[in-house]
Amino acid sequence: MNSIADGSVIIQASCASVPSTPFWFGEVALIAEHLRRQGVLTTIDERVRFARRRMGHYEVIDFLAVLFGYAISGERTLEAFYERLQPFAVPFMALFDRDQLPARSTLSRFLAALTMEPVEALRALFLDDLLARPLTEERQRGELLDRVGRQWEVFDIDGTREAARQRALPKGEELPPAHRRLDEVCAAGYTGRKRGEVVRTRTAISQAHTSQWLGSFGNRGNGKYREELARALFVIRRYLEANNQPQTRALLRLDGLYGTGAVIADLGGLCFVMRGKDYTVLDHPTIQARLHLPPDASFSPPESSLVRTLYDCPDVPVGKTGCRCRVVVATHPATGKKSSIGHTRKGVVYELFFTHLPQDGFTAFDVVALYLHRGAFEPMLADEDQEIDPDRWCSHSPAGQEAWQIVSQWIWNVRLELGHLLHPDPVRATKFAPAVPEAKEQQPHTCGYGKPSVATAFKAGRFSGQDFALQPDGTLRCPANQSLVVHERRNEASGSLRVVYAASIRSCRPCPLRDQCQWNGSATAKPRQVSVLLHPLVVGSAPLLWRDWSRRPYRRACIQLLRHQRIEVQVGPPTCASLEVSPRLLFRAQRAHYRLSWEGRLARNARVPTSGRVTIRLFGVPENFATSLGLATA
């Protein structure tokens, strides 16, 4: 040992190698102990099984232990993770009751050979573990309360992608055909803002109130969004069933990729709010007629100066299947720059929002605000990329990449659960939208209007307002095939809006049906007028309440708990019993080289009782938290 002494500072150097404990090792110890106490590790041994040729010394749990550690560590690559882990391989594997650490190349070969059957078993186990325990000990639930007090649980379904760079390869008859490593997991597709030539897309499902992941389903290229949506709906139904909630309580938020009538039919009765992309709906006579009536509301988010004018159409067929739903049309003037969202016609940009939300609980303003609120899903994906980055390439096979992404979402949920143990805060309530103010006389109603109604016949055998059909161009058509245009609009004391249509006197004077149409027939000096009354919608007056927990602090509390604390790791020598050489007894099956049983395969790398004791001492763990995890306290 050499030393340098200069004043009060003494620097000593030694040639002995003493690796420092990885800063993430303490969190690995906590999460591994939590999974062991919940029986997850044992269940993986029993349910996630994979048989392949030359399986070798290791079993599925050995490789999943490495993936769990890799997801927790946040290391950029598997190579960097193995480099930090190698000096502590024995205590790391001991946390999972295993003996030896698989080499990095062995892990890669395992993920390349993995099939979808064990991956689906792992996915089912991930969901079972999520549903086995409530997020908080008080079993509080997040929810959305509408204006009449109905409860909704909101689920977000959206796609995310990862692009891969591929260099150009020379081609020629003298060269063998090229085989790219990512051909099985990637294909040409939409890369978005990510740089690359090929892409892989996955559909992620989250619970909007707890910020928990419910699942992830990936495919090559742009993915198979209809198939992935069907699997996501199965997961959501299982979640509702496990929590004793009716399916009518679920509310799905989807982006414009799903905005067609065919997808609405696929939802199977679940409530939804989505952006529509089938702009042929705008040509429907009901929509065209509604666009010529006064709007229901205007919408302007605080972060933008854009003002959208909203028209609420309660029952409109969408798509070739004719699925009927509520359509909210949002319009705003077009600018010189082409709008990236919506459809532009004659200087007006039209946006469509499809939903099954009831009109008495959600105004048109509420529907648009609730859809745009799904932007909170993007910070959740950003946090996931920053903490774990599940879209990075861990394997060049679809099953291996799916297994890695399941493990990543599992670690996210466990961190949330442990964070709530550290800080058992009650659910918070946010006023998502204010209460509906009382409408004053001679002022337009703020909740929108219902279907237009007209008066009945003033005398038997005379034409009533019902005989004047509302046209897509906003006019009325009389029985004599003449047009009536808007003459006056006025607000009634009851909050209704009266729209008065009037014909031209030049059309009424020579009309042969004038005696059936007007009170005094041909003696009338004025043209025929028809009043269309728009009654205000009956909407609950209560505010929209959003109940949830904060997304980030609980995970960060779990991550930062031991990140800057000292960790002591001691590996004792083997016990005396392991040093004694005893004759090995063989079974007849071993003599005959039969296939090993599942238990025999699992036992090959199991940590034997005679192995040296591993002692891990964690500092900075609150006593109540340690007790809840069953950890011994000093």
Query: 113-127, 167-181, 381-395, 453-467 — which is least confidently predicted?
Result: 453-467
Considering the domain boundaries, does residue 192 fall inside one?
A: yes
Q: Please indicate, yes or no, whether residues 215 and 270 belong to a single structural domain of this protein.
A: yes
SS3 category, 348: strand
pLDDT over threshold 60, residue 1: no
Task: Choose one of 431, 461, 482: the last residue of a domain.
Answer: 431
Region 192-214: mean pLDDT is 93
pLDDT at position 239: 96
Question: In the prediction, which pLDDT does 582 show?
Answer: 59
Q: Are residues 135 and 100 in the same domain?
A: no
pLDDT of residue 459: 63
For residue 283, count CB atoms less than 10 angstroms from its CB and return exposed for 0-12, middle for 13-18, buried for 19 or more: exposed
pLDDT over 90 (residue 402):
yes
Q: Report the alpha-carbon distance of residue 489 to residue 278 in Å, rounded.
A: 32
CB 21 within 8 A of CB 569: yes
Tell me, yes or no, whether 410 and 489 share the same domain.
no
CB 300 within 8 A of CB 308: yes
Looking at the structure, tell me whether residues 394 and 517 fall in a common domain. Answer: no
Q: Is residue 212 part of a domain?
A: yes
Under the banding of pLDDT at 50, 70 and 90, the label for residue 243 is very high
> In sequence order, what are the beta bridge partners of 536?
449
Residue 282 pLDDT > 60, yes or no? yes
Q: Nearest to residue 495, comparing CAs of 448, 532, 453? A: 448
Region 135-154: mean pLDDT is 89
In sequence order, the 6+-apart residues with CB closer than 8 A to the CB of 126 are: 215, 406, 409, 410
Does 574 reside within a domain?
no
**Which pLDDT band, with edges at 50, 70 and 90, does 580 fall under?**
low
**The most confident of 47-61, 123-137, 284-298, 536-550, by mean pLDDT:** 123-137
CATH of the domain at 293: 3.90.350
Mean pLDDT of 489-499: 77
pLDDT tens digit sequence for 88-133: 999 999 999 999 999 999 999 999 999 999 999 999 999 999 999 9
Residue 6: its pLDDT value, please? 62
- Same domain assignment for residues 245 and 352: yes
Query: In sequence order, what are the beta bridge partners of 325?
Result: 316
pLDDT at position 311, please? 93
- The CA distance from 274 to 258, in Å, is 7
Residues 401 and 504 in one domain: no
Cβ neighbours of residue 447 closer than 8 Å, sequence gap 6 or more:
296, 297, 363, 436, 536, 537, 539
Q: Which residues contact 585 (CB under 8 A, 6 or more apart)?
A: none
Q: Identify the pLDDT of residue 393.
A: 93
Q: In terms of pLDDT, which residue wins out, 192 or 272? A: 272
Find the range with the poorest average confidence among 34-43, 242-251, 274-283, 435-444: 435-444
- Residue 633: how many CB atoms within 10 A of its CB? 8
Burial class (CB in 10 A: 0-12, 13-18, 19+), 367: buried
Q: How far is CA 110 from CA 106, 134, 154, 186, 207, in A?
A: 6, 34, 38, 19, 32
More confident residue, 459 or 31: 31
Residue 158 lies in a domain: yes
The pTM of the full predicted model, rounded to 2 decimals, is 0.87
Q: Which domain holds residue 620?
A: 21-113+587-634
Whether 229 shows a pLDDT value over 80: the answer reads: yes
Q: What is the mean pLDDT of residues 567-588?
A: 71
Q: Is 291 in contact with 313 (CB distance < 8 Å)?
A: no
217 and 313 inside one domain: yes
Residue linked to tokens 């009927």: 324
In 403-451, DSSP assigns E strands to 428-433
| Sequence letter at residue 309 | T
> pLDDT, tens digit, for every residue of 416-467?
999 999 999 999 999 999 888 765 554 555 566 777 777 666 666 678 777 8
Residue 345 pLDDT > 60: yes
- Average pLDDT (512-526) is 77
Helices 60-73 and 40-47 meet at what angle, rounded to 10? 140
pLDDT band at 510 (very low <50, low <70, confident <90, very high): confident
Instruction: Note whether residue 354 is domain-resident.
Output: yes
Which one, of 509, 503, 456, lies nearest residue 481 by Cα?
503
pLDDT tens readout for residues 591-622: 777 778 888 888 888 888 878 889 999 999 99
Domain contains 473: yes
CA 469 distance to own-chain centroid: 44
Q: What is the share, in percent, of the chain residues with pLDDT greater than 90?
A: 56
Total domains, the chain = 3
Residue 90 lies in a domain: yes
Q: Where are the alpha helices (DSSP H) in 423-474?
A: none
- pLDDT category at 556 given cuts 50, 70, 90 is very high
Is pLDDT above 70 for 551? yes
Q: What is the pLDDT of residue 78?
A: 95
Tokens representing residue 410 in the block = 């599992």
3-state secondary structure at position 342: coil
CA atoms of 172 and 611, how far apart (whole Å): 58
Q: Last residue of some domain: 514, 534, 554?
A: 534
pLDDT at 17 over 90: no
> Residue 397 domain-assigned?
yes
Q: Between 86 and 487, whose confidence is greater?
A: 86
- Considering the domain architecture, whether residues 380 and 469 belong to the same structural domain is answered as no
Q: Residue 579 pLDDT > 60, yes or no?
A: no
Q: Which residues pair with 310 in a beta bridge?
A: 297, 330
Is the domain of 109 the same as that of 138? no
Averaged confidence pLDDT in the chain:
88
Q: What is the mean pLDDT of residues 160-166?
A: 91
Which pLDDT value is given to residue 586? 66
pLDDT in tens, 252-279: 999 999 999 999 999 988 999 999 999 9
- pLDDT tier at 535, thresholds 50, 70, 90: confident
Query: Region 2-26: what's the mean pLDDT?
Result: 83
Over range 325-333, report the average pLDDT.
94
Helix (H, G, I), strand (E, B) or coil at 72: helix
pLDDT at 68 over 90: yes
- Residue 512 CB partners (closer than 8 Å, separation 6+): 480
Q: What is the pLDDT of residue 584?
A: 65
Q: How confident is the model at residue 302 (pLDDT cuts 50, 70, 90)?
A: confident
- Looking at the chain, how many residues does it have? 634
Cα–Cα distances (Å) from 548 to 15, 209, 452, 477, 592, in that order, read 54, 4, 39, 52, 61
List, edge to edge, every strand of the sheet that includes 483-491.
453-454, 529-534, 497-502, 483-491, 476-477, 469-470
51 and 157 in a common domain? no
23 or 289, which is more confident?
Answer: 23
d(CA 140, CA 354): 31
Mark whether 207 and 139 lie in a shared domain: yes
pLDDT at 576: 62
Rounded to an integer, the average pLDDT of 157-169 is: 90
Q: Tell me, yes or no, whether 249 and 313 share the same domain.
A: yes
Q: Does the pLDDT value for residue 4 go beyond 80?
A: no
